[in-house]
Structure 1
Amino acid sequence: MATLILVRHGRSTANTAGLLAGWTPGVALDERGAEQAAALPGRLAGVPLAAVVSSPLQRCRETLAPLLAARPELTEHTDDRIGECHYGDWSGRKLSELADEPLMKIVQQHPSAVSFPGGESMRAMQARAVDAVREWDVRIEEEHGGDAVFLMCSHGDIIKSLVADALGMHLDLFQRIHVDPCSVTAIRYTATRPFVFRLGDTGDFGSLIPRASPETPKDPEADGNAVVGGGAGAA
């Protein structure tokens, strides 16, 4: 069966500003995100890619640009179904402000019940992403064979929901999963079950090092809450 490599986009200007970007236009990679994107071709060196599929949003397209430049034989496809969650009225707002919204407690503890005001439900977000991945998986295998590898560049909440589906986890448990910017997750779908081979792999263990001083910004997950949208990762 084909193998899917899921790449979360590199760190964005919204990540570092603490904003929930959603589908807000003009959200680009920041300097660190550009460095992460530039390193992606080397990290995937030697991995044959049958196809590359991207969320249509700028930060994903910018993440893939160095890889596509290094492999001119590849054509980039886009699929709206792996675009970020439609957060509706929450889009563009500071996460620190959204933390006080009553809905945030539901986002953290019972996401399958959440519909963002003016946006979509988290159930719909997961369903469209799973449909996209499984349709592309069938297409890639039919066109390139069962040993093919293909790559999709998407967003934190989308990737977390795909991993939850692959692991047979209820959506209400998906906040237990964490994927850093430009991390790599690998899933192989088979007729009987998916297998998760990599999860949020950055090759960097800096985020596991204890904070150096009390002045260092608090880890947003220290209180047990997940960062909606995925967060900025390690400095």
Structure 2
Amino acid sequence: MATVILVRHGRTTANASGLLAGRTPGVSLDQTGRDQAAVTGDRLAAVPLVGVVSSPLERCRQTAQLILDRQQGAPHAPIEADLNECDYGSWQNRTLADLAKDELWPVVQSQPSAVTFPGGESMAAMQARSVAAIRRHDAAFEAEHGPGAVWAAVSHGDIIKSVLADALGMHLDLFQRITVGPASVSIVHYGKGRPTVFATNTDAGDLSWLAASTAPGDAPVGGGAGHTAPPAQ
């Protein structure tokens, strides 16, 4: 299969003020978020992406555009509704400090598989639709471009955490152990036998090795020799 780079959107005005924006329209990147996304775009410039798939929300589309601006050619750039933010229902537009007093908060922290947000969706449904979307696009890019294809999916913190939990074989109740920061990069390859997680929550480092990567086979016993970046042109 192909390799997907999971990118969280950069920091927003809501993130900076401690507000759970959810699916509220018009929440955009602040200057810090734009700078973060530009750095991520620069990191990915060394990787010829075959596609950049984005959540429909503005903050993700802005982040995706900053990645696309640094790519040569014209990668496929669809919007994917199933990578949208979790529907937090009545939790949306409340501060995190206020939500921490809600009786549902400790359940979100320790047993997210049992959580359905009031007036919104369950966290289990959120994971199911986001994982299905990632795997669907991954298979399509691999079918069109071959097993060496690399693409990016720009989405939200809880969405990416749930995708990583699935790839790591973790129960959803453990997904709060994963951190996904603004504009961070995580990398997953869906192999024939199992996914391989190359990185989680990185905000620096060379990614040019992905431009010359080949589909991994069995896991190397002892860890192997690691990745080799392509020679400088």
User: TM-score of the superposition, structure 1-length normalised?
Assistant: 0.85
The answer to whether the 8 Å contact 2:11/2:29 transfers is yes
- Per-residue deviation, residues 36-65 of structure 1 (Å, max 9, x unmatched): 122222111221111110000000011122
Shift of 1:76: 1.5
Tell me which residue corresponds to 1:180.
181
1:109-157 deviation line (CA, Å, top 9, x unaligned): 1000000000000000000001001111110110000000010000000
SS at match of 2:144: helix
Counterpart of 1:105?
Answer: 106
Q: Which blocks of at least 5 consecutive residues in structure 1 are unaligned?
A: 205-235
Match of 1:219 in 2: none
Post-superposition CA distance 1:69-105 (Å, at most 9, x none): 2335123211010111000000010000000000001
- Paired residue for 2:89? 88
> CA–CA distance in 2 between the matches of 1:67 and 1:135?
22
Aligned match of 1:9: 9
- Extract unaligned runs of 5+ from structure 2: 206-233
Give the alignment of 1:147-162 within 5 angstroms: 147-162=148-163
After superposition, residues 1-235 of structure 1 pair within 5 angstroms as 1-71=1-71, 72-203=73-204
Following the alignment from structure 1 to structure 2, what is the Cα–Cα distance between the partners of residues 23 and 67?
22
| Runs ≥4 residues deviating over 2 A | 69-72
User: Which amino acid in 1 is paired with 2:171?
Assistant: H
1:183 counterpart letter in structure 2? S
* DSSP 3-state at the match of 2:47: coil
TM norm structure 2: 0.85
Match of 2:78, SS state, is strand
The amino acid across from 1:45 in the alignment is: A
Q: Percent identity?
A: 56
**Number of residues of Structure 1 aligned to a counterpart in Structure 2:** 204
- The Cα offsets for residues 13-39 of structure 1, whole Å up to 9 and x where unpaired, read as 110010011101111001100111222
